């Protein structure tokens, strides 16, 4: 048995990940900005779009399940499916913010927080991400340094270049 203190930080990564990496990292598009790995504006907007697409996928899946059961989706079914999608997103996002430093949309867009998010700030991060979804990503136009997600987490946003 191994000691509980020697759990690797990438415990959920694939085992052959190092084998697939290229021997020399590709040059970053932000390399000329002093090594800053700040995501572009369109990528910051895409984080909200990806969160919205994730919620719509769960909503669509719930409505398809209703159709497969032989019923027609009515207006209450749409409300129920939207609520289900929101509950799924809040649960998934709260786990991913703590474990992987990003909401599902952020991770899909290749963006994460530069530092781990404190547990007391997770609710603020989720509220900021939902505000981004509700406005279709318009807060992303503020940029990575002034992002409402970064302010809510008290951490900057960086591009996640890992495989």
Sign of CA dihedral 149, 152, 155, 160: negative
What tens digit of pLDDT does each residue of 95-105 get? 999 999 999 99
Looking at residue 21, its pLDDT comes to 45
DSSP 13: S
- Looking at per-residue pLDDT, the higher value among 35 and 73 belongs to 73
For the stretch 19-42, pLDDT in tens is: 444 444 444 444 444 445 888 889
Residue 59 and residue 13: Cα distance in Å, rounded?
A: 29
């Amino acid at each position: 048995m191994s000691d509980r203190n020697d759990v690797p930080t990438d415990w959920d990564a694939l085992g052959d990940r190092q084998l697939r990496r290229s021997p020399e990292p590709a040059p970053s598009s932000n390399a000329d900005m002093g090594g800053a790995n700040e995501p572009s504006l369109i990528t910051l907007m895409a984080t909200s779009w990806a969160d919205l697409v994730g919620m719509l996928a769960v909503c669509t899946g719930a409505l398809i399940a209703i159709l497969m059961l032989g019923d027609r989706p009515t207006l209450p079914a749409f409300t129920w499916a939207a609520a289900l999608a929101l509950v799924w997103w809040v649960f998934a996002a709260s786990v991913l913010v703590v474990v992987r430093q990003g909401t599902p949309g952020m991770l899909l867009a290749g963006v994460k927080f530069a530092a781990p998010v404190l547990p007391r700030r997770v609710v603020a991060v989720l509220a900021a991400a939902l505000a981004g979804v509700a406005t279709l990503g318009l807060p992303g136009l503020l940029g990575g340094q002034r992002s409402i997600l970064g302010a809510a987490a008290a951490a900057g946003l960086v591009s996640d270049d890992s495989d």
